[in-house]
Amino acid sequence: MTKAITVSGLHKSFGRTHALDGLDLDVERGEVHGFLGPNGAGKSTAIRVLLGLLRADSGAAQLLGKDPWHDAVELHGRLAYVPGDVTLWRNLSGGEVIDLYGRLRGGLDKDRRAELIERFELDPTKKGRAYSKGNRQKVALVAAFASDVELLILDEPTSGLDPLMEEVFQSCVVRAREEGRTVLLSSHILSEVETLCDRVSIIRKGSTVESGSLADMRHLTRTSVRAELAAAPNGIGRLPGVHDLEIEGHRVALQVDTDKLDAVLRALTESGVRSLTSTPPTLEELFLRHYQDDVATAGAGQAAEAMTR
Amino acid sequence: MTAVTTAPPASPAPARRTGGRGHLAGTGPLLRLALRRDRVIVPVWLVVIAMMVLSMPNTLKEVYGTTAQRADLMDSLATNASLRALYGPVFDQSFGGLTAWRVGAFAGVFAAVMSLVIVVRHTREEEETGRQEMISSAMVGRRAPLTSALLTALVANALLGLLVAAGLAGEGGAGALALGLGIAGVGMVFATMAAIVAQFTESARLAKGLTSALLGAAFVLRAAGDSATADGSSLLTWLSPVGWLENMRSFGAERWWVLLLFAGAIAVQTIGAYELAGRRDVGMSFLPSRPGPAHGRLGTAGALAWRLQRGAVIGWSLGFLAAGIVFGGLTEGATDLVGDNENTREIIGRMGGQTGLTDAFLAAMVGILGMVGALYIVASVLRLHGEETSQRAEPVLANAVGRLRWAAGHLAVAFAGATLIMLLAACGLSLGYGHDFGPIVGACLVQLPAIWLLGSLAVLLHGVSPQLAVGAWGVAGLALLIGWIGPALDLPQPLMNLSPFSHLPKLPGQDLAWSPVLLLTGVAVALTAAGLAGLRRRDLATG
């Protein structure tokens, strides 16, 4: 079976700004794929190319085995999209908008719609102008999750949702995966990505810098280890892959490349371990590690962000 | 930031230019969406325009009741360029023919405004607000949004044409049909023109403004052509879609082949719009917006209000200056016309003044400009309402900005702006006319109390409740209607008195009566104060 999304070497520029600069992305069918990147990295531009709203300058992109530009209409019957900033028509009710999108996607599950409205605590009779940001977001989420589609493309879908609704959202994503749907989730809420996503792609300045399962990615980074020992540690500083070593009497704190963890633990047990905490790198740390360089060039990032907005 | 594809893409070429299968998919639901969204505004347009046309035969029967009176009118039109410039030539003396002459061009212009608003509202505005992105993520073909917008305009224009044709059928079936088709044709020409303009601008506001300017140019071309020839045969008239409408010669010897011009223009512009739309990305435009400064100098609520309304003030100023020059230029000729027609003299007299036909004509024109100026002030005051309901006022007011200071900025632009445009209209009039600068400036300024009064009514309505604010359009529209058709219909004075403009001295020509001027100004001040007091007390609109 073909992959849900394959993108290779995608380029898209707006004038002199290169929003996408050789982006690669692979999403397997049935997985929840996290799509991470700082503001202006090109996430929304990539999603718009996948939706056939923008035409790539060069590179290849396939969605469910089809061309996102040429087969846009057919594909759009098989996917649902939720933008990060939902705008509604002032004089249409939320319920009307949900049904409109359902119809435009070729069908809506009525029972599912009712259930989602209940779970998201949405009043579908209010007019568009009366909804708060979070409620506008819910309108789009209900429309998306109630559609019978293979692929969900969610671009920062939970902005404006309260923590309770965030949980409802997460359970909807889990259910979508159980039903065999594919989800591309662009998000800045890293805990959300960590909980939901099977695999993650991190992009920066329009190209992919890291892609894989969270376990794989952790493997490439450092684990932080704190231990209280029976005796003073011996020779740990000489082990390969050890960084930021701090020794204070019998206490030791260090960072170690995850693939060198084994040797460090052996060395620690030699001195007798009283207590030990080992923390795998959080997604946040992974994320920050990739973006540290960006801080220096934040200006360029902001310019690119202006493009995608 | 443009994304116009210039060179064909390199390697794995993504599809043809306008390519993509099923590019009309979803047109049906989108058309229904558009009609549902426009369920109030389009019927209002249709009723107003149809009423304007359908009420005309009765009015005319009163003014040009006898054959002699009509022959008189024909004579004066044959010799008078100014009146032809305003209304166009008469092709038939029947009441149908006179109706087509008197309101045809104006109905066409209104249909065009309605159409361009509809098309921009459902194309560029959708892209500007970002709604198009989510719509386009569904099974919606690339041509579906433009198609549904044009179909919406087509539905509205077809209904309008039908209303006119059915309503005037009593005056002659063929003529009524020709006039209805012609008005709808002008509407569709500008609907498709707006579809093209909307591809070039990033903002819906600019798209509407540019298309309106093109419409204004078309009207001026027709006016210029008609002042040159007595039978609409000037090349200038033929260059203007508004001129085609008169050249249909409805109720005369109808020239049905003129419909081909409408059809051709509509077809060519439709193809152009689709071609352009197929060559750009969603939300992008061919005329990219320029980047703004990295550091801003705006520091006060007043400066912000001026910055937000600057474009509109400049646009209105140029429009009023130009209109003044055109009307001023017509003034000399207007006197010959009215000279030998007792009835027209009477109408002009009722519309504007008593003595001196030049003065009367000038006074009538000043009155028209004053009433249109009321539309400016209502629009400008209601920016407060727009800022508030779009939630943009909320963060501004969350700073150390009081509600009064916030409102004062916009109101200063509204009230001073009205003064400015009337002064420019005066400059234009005396420039076009060639003399009488002082009296004309005075006449234009005397309109201000009535304009201010309508503006202050908008302040009051908005201050009492944001839901009532749009009612100010209703009041301004009523004043305009009374001023426009009241004199011709010879409405009873109490009804005429509903419009503040009816109370003003008709200048130049009459003595300047200070009491109504001061009274209206006083009422305007009081209403504004009451509105501001209400604004301080009430809740801010939250949605």
CA atoms within 13 A on the CB side of B314: 7
Same domain, B306 and B271: no
Q: What is the pLDDT along chain B (543 residues), one digit of tens a residue?
A: 444 444 444 444 443 444 455 788 889 999 999 999 999 999 999 998 998 899 888 888 877 878 888 888 787 777 777 677 778 888 888 889 989 988 899 999 999 999 999 999 999 999 988 899 899 999 898 899 999 999 999 999 999 999 999 999 998 899 999 999 999 999 999 999 999 999 998 889 889 989 998 998 898 888 888 877 888 888 889 999 999 999 999 998 899 999 999 999 999 999 999 999 888 888 788 877 777 777 778 878 888 999 889 988 998 999 899 889 888 887 776 655 554 556 666 665 655 444 467 787 788 888 888 988 999 999 999 999 988 888 788 878 887 788 898 999 999 999 999 999 999 999 999 998 887 788 899 999 999 999 999 999 999 999 999 889 989 998 988 888 787 766 656 678 888 888 898 888 887 877 788 889 999 999 999 999 999 999 988 888 765
Interface of B with A (CB under 8 A): 1-3, 5, 9-12, 14-16, 19-23, 25-26, 29-30, 33, 36-37, 40, 129-131, 133-142, 281-284, 288, 389, 543
**Chain B partners of A69 at a C-beta cutoff of 8 Å?**
14-15, 19-20
Instruction: Say what the pLDDT of residue B343 is.
Output: 61
Last residue of a domain, which of B281, B311, B342? B281
**Chain A partners of B543 at a C-beta cutoff of 8 Å?**
129-131
Structural domain harbouring B88:
25-281
Same domain, B466 and B531: yes
Same domain, B133 and B173: yes
Last residue of a domain, which of B254, B281, B308? B281
Cα radius of gyration rounded to whole Å, chain B: 24
Q: Is residue B294 part of a domain?
A: no
Residue in chain B nearest A132 by alpha carbon: B543
Q: Is residue B222 part of a domain?
A: yes
Angle in degrees, 0-180, between the axes of helices B258-278 and B173-200, rounded to the nearest 10: 20
Q: Do A104 and B139 touch (CB under 8 A)?
A: yes
CA nearest neighbour of A289 among A220, A197, A225: A220
* 3-state secondary structure labels for all residues of B160-188: HHHHHHHHCHHHCHHHHHHHHHHHHHHHH
Q: Do B543 and A131 touch (CB under 8 A)?
A: yes
Same domain, B399 and B307: yes
Interface probe, candidates B23, B139, B279, B467, chain A, greatest A C-beta count within 10 A: B139
Nearest-CB residue to A76 (from B23, B140, B281): B140
Q: Looking at the DSSP assignment, which residues form a beta bridge with residue A247?
A: A252
Q: Do B2 and A73 touch (CB under 8 A)?
A: no
User: A 65-104 residues with CB below 8 A of B?
Assistant: 67, 69-74, 76-77, 79-83, 85-89, 91-92, 96, 100-101, 103-104
User: Cβ contacts of residue A98 below 8 Å, gap of 6+?
Assistant: A108, A113, A117, A124, A139, A142, A143, A146
The complex's ipTM works out to 0.74
Q: What is the pLDDT along chain A (309 residues), one digit of tens a residue?
A: 689 999 999 999 888 888 999 999 999 999 999 999 888 888 989 999 998 888 889 999 999 999 998 888 889 889 999 998 888 888 889 999 899 888 888 888 999 999 999 999 999 999 887 888 899 999 999 999 999 899 999 999 998 899 999 999 999 999 999 999 999 999 888 888 888 999 999 898 899 988 888 877 777 677 888 989 888 887 788 888 888 888 888 888 888 887 888 888 888 888 888 998 888 777 777 777 777 655 544 444 444 444 444
Single-letter amino acid code for the residue at B520: L
* 3-state secondary structure labels for all residues of chain A: CCCCEEEEEEEEEECCEEEEEEEEEEECCCCEEEEECCCCCCHHHHHHHHCCCCCCCEEEEEECCECCCCCHHHHHCCEEEECCCCCCCCCCEHHHHHHHHHHHCCCECHHHHHHHHHHCCCCCCCEHHHCCHHHHHHHHHHHHHCECCCEEEEECCCCCCCHHHHHHHHHHHHHHHHCCCEEEEECCCHHHHHHHCCEEEEEECCEEEEEEEHHHHHHCCEEEEEEEECCCCCCHHHCCCEEEEEEECCEEEEEEEHHHHHHHHHHHHHCCEEEEEEECCCHHHHHHHHHHHHHHCHHHHHHHHHHHC
Say what the alpha-carbon torsion angle B497, B501, B503, B508 is, to the nearest 10 degrees: -140
Residue in chain B nearest A12 by alpha carbon: B3
Residue in chain A nearest B22 by alpha carbon: A73
Residues in chain B, overall count: 543
List the domain boundaries for chain A: 5-78+150-217, 222-279
Instruction: Say what the pLDDT of residue B478 is.
Output: 87
Same domain, B232 and B307: no
Cα radius of gyration rounded to whole Å, chain A: 23
DSSP string, B297-330: ---SHHHHHHHHHHHHHHHHHHHHHHHHHHHHHH
Instruction: Say what the pLDDT of residue A1 is.
Output: 64
Closest-CA distance, B388 to chain A, in angstroms, reads: 12
Its sign, for the CA torsion B23, B27, B29, B34, is positive
Last residue of a domain, which of B281, B314, B337? B281
Q: Do B129 and A96 touch (CB under 8 A)?
A: no
Q: Do B484 and B371 form a contact (C-beta atoms < 8 A)?
A: yes
Q: Do B1 and A92 touch (CB under 8 A)?
A: no
Q: Is residue B291 part of a domain?
A: no
Instruction: Say what the pLDDT of residue B7 is.
Output: 42
Q: Do A129 and B12 touch (CB under 8 A)?
A: no
Instruction: Say what the pLDDT of residue A221 is.
Output: 73
Closest-CA distance, A123 to chain B, in angstroms, reads: 15
Q: Do B37 and A92 touch (CB under 8 A)?
A: yes
**Chain A partners of B28 at a C-beta cutoff of 8 Å?**
none
Closest-CA distance, A15 to chain B, in angstroms, reads: 6
**The pTM is what?**
0.78
Nearest-CB residue to B137 (from A51, A89, A92): A51
* Two structure tokens written together for B247: 């050249």
Residue A254 phi/psi, 5-degree rounding, is -155, 165
Q: Do A55 and B5 touch (CB under 8 A)?
A: yes
**Chain A partners of B138 at a C-beta cutoff of 8 Å?**
76, 81, 101, 104-105
Tell me how crowded residue B244 is: count the other CB atoms within 10 A of its CB.
26
Exposure class string for A209-239: b at 16+ Cβ within 10 A, else e: bbbeebeebbbebbbbbebebeeebeebeee
Q: Do A53 and B15 touch (CB under 8 A)?
A: no
Same domain, B424 and B540: yes
Instruction: Say what the pLDDT of residue B13 is.
Output: 40
Residue in chain B nearest A51 by alpha carbon: B137
Instruction: Say what the pLDDT of residue B266 is.
Output: 97
Nearest-CB residue to B22 (from A61, A73, A96): A73
Angle in degrees, 0-180, between the axes of helices A283-296 and A298-308, rounded to the nearest 10: 100
Q: Domains in chain B: how many in total? A: 2
- Model confidence pLDDT, tens digit, residues A223-253: 888 989 888 887 788 888 888 888 888 888 8
B358 by DSSP, 3-state: which? Answer: helix
Homologous superfamily in CATH for domain A5-78+150-217: P-loop containing nucleotide triphosphate hydrolases (3.40.50.300)
Closest-CA distance, A250 to chain B, in angstroms, reads: 55
Closest-CA distance, B389 to chain A, in angstroms, reads: 8
User: Rounded to whole angstroms, how far apart are CA atoms A63 and A46?
Assistant: 12
Q: Do B129 and A59 touch (CB under 8 A)?
A: no
Q: Do A154 and A176 form a contact (C-beta atoms < 8 A)?
A: no
Instruction: Say what the pLDDT of residue A106 is.
Output: 80
User: Cβ contacts of residue A151 below 8 Å, gap of 6+?
Assistant: A4, A5, A63, A64, A78, A79, A80, A181, A182, A183, A184
User: Rounded to whole angstroms, how far apart are CA atoms A77 and A20?
Assistant: 26
Say if A190 is an interface residue toward chain B (CB within 8 Å): no
Q: Do A73 and B9 touch (CB under 8 A)?
A: no
Residue in chain B nearest A152 by alpha carbon: B137
Closest-CA distance, B45 to chain A, in angstroms, reads: 18
Same domain, B176 and B32: yes
**Chain A partners of B16 at a C-beta cutoff of 8 Å?**
70
A11, A137, B126 from A55: Cα distances, Å: 10, 27, 19
Instruction: Say what the pLDDT of residue B168 is.
Output: 93
Closest-CA distance, A104 to chain B, in angstroms, reads: 5
Same domain, B542 and B488: yes
Residue in chain B nearest A96 by alpha carbon: B33
Q: Do B543 and A91 touch (CB under 8 A)?
A: no
Q: Is residue B20 part of a domain?
A: no
Interface probe, candidates B127, B131, B134, chain A, greatest A C-beta count within 10 A: B134
**Chain A partners of B139 at a C-beta cutoff of 8 Å?**
73-74, 76-77, 104-106
User: A 131-150 residues with CB below 8 A of B?
Assistant: 131, 140
Q: Do B36 and A96 touch (CB under 8 A)?
A: yes
Instruction: Say what the pLDDT of residue B356 is.
Output: 66
Instruction: Say what the pLDDT of residue A198 is.
Output: 92
Instruction: Say what the pLDDT of residue B340 is.
Output: 53
Q: A222-279 domain in CATH 3.30.70.260? A: yes
* Cα-based angle A62, A63, A68 (whole degrees, multiple of 5): 75
CA nearest neighbour of A43 among A86, A88, A84: A84
**Chain B partners of A42 at a C-beta cutoff of 8 Å?**
none
**Chain B partners of A88 at a C-beta cutoff of 8 Å?**
131
Q: Is residue B16 part of a domain?
A: no
User: Cβ contacts of residue A255 below 8 Å, gap of 6+?
Assistant: A222, A223, A224, A225, A242, A243, A244
